[in-house]
Structure 1
Amino acid sequence: MRLLLVEDDDRVAAALSAVLARHGFDVVHARSGEEALRRLLPDDGARPFGVVLLDLGLPDTDGFEVCSRIRRLTATTPVIMVTARADVRSRVHGLNLGADDYVVKPYDTAELLARIHAVSRRTATATAAPAGTGGSGGGDGEPAGASPGRLLLGPLVIEADTRRVTVRGEPVTLTRKEFDLLALLAQRPGVVFRREQIISEVWRTSWEGTGRTLEVHVASLRSKLRLPALIETVRGVGYRLTTPAD
């Protein structure tokens, strides 16, 4: 299995790489967040990574931000955060951003290996499932008419590159957070996003005291888009985007 190790300490990386290599992993070492993201870009000449081990204390970009950007590049590659940050808030924040597991340093190597194999098995099972049979992928793939950087959902068009939104051809002016919220929900139409996950992704903070802000932004989106059924409230859980009729 090809593995991406994101670790700025060369001594730690060398020791861990040696252990992983002995267990059959093909390790690629990235010393910064930007290098890790470059390594994850599609390359016709290389096998995709089976898992990413991500340290949070990177020299250029906080590991939480790197995880969020990884999830925008790939929804399936497992990410395990490996860090000295042991507080519960950091654990919850990391998992809400899309990490598949969270391991606190110092760790037992056998446990880390077991966790790598566990997330790999879960990913392989989810990938092998027939389309539309469940899991967190949210159905039959991209919405009809979608292309890189552009999402088409009935009369709603979202252009990620230009941050432009139109409804039935008419432009809709959104604030930065309103657009981020809409774009997040639109990544997986029909899939319920937990309130905690939305707060972590859009506001980069924990749920405490931010719930009302989320509700206000959802209400504003519904009003501006004039598609009242677009964002559905799942009571006690969160929100999901439905595909509106033309």
Structure 2
Amino acid sequence: MTQAKICGITTPEALRRAAELRVDYIGLVFAPSKRRVEPEEAGALIAELRGLRAAASEPETADGGSAPQRSSAKPQVVGVFVDPTMDELDRALAAAPLDVVQLHGQESPEFCRAVRERFGVRVFKASSIREDGSGLDADSGGDLQANHAERAEAIAEAYAGAADALLIDTHDPLYGGGSGRTFNWEIIPLYRDAARARGLKLFVAGGLTPDNAGELIRQYAPDGVDVSSGVETDGLKDLHKMTLFAERVALS
């Protein structure tokens, strides 16, 4: 089943709705972005999420008491960073205990491996794709599929054992990702198959909405889909759109 990640959470209201929907991951952005949260803000959101998890794990019994029940621990919390230093990660994770660190810059496999070992977290490594489908480091000429087949194999081989998942996203010249625009989806199977062959999951981001997420999943079957601006109205998370997105992913 394809997993759902809602990124760019900034408010308790959006956090609570994501928890109610039991999406697999929420994303808190620590990198430069209009959705950026400070470590202390992130810590407060994570504390609230832990409270919601605890409440959900203790349903009432017939006599009005509470019965223990193992928590599903959803959503997991992903922190999004772009080319952080280890000191920056130290400060962020001291205030905000994350489940996953998503690295959206030029971080090397060695850096990703060091993050996993130092903080005991999973690592998602993002790679940017231009809207026309070309990779930032791929040959812009020639056959698109051939170029990406080589690029996908190289990235998956490099990050195997250093990351837990790859994420492909439409490049944004200002922030790197979070552009709200799609790329050429025909290249997704190349990255999906290269990742899975090396024990990595593949997440897809970039221009996803409640209207197109189901189509992407049915046609290309990634391991996860990641949305941010596609569930917003006027720059704020829209609880109705979040609900629709989670429902479309679950039904696909």
> Structures share a fold, TM > 0.5?
no
**Which structure has the bigger radius of gyration?**
1
Report the TM-score when normalising by structure 1.
Answer: 0.29
Q: Which has the higher contact order (CA 8 A, sep 6+)?
A: 2
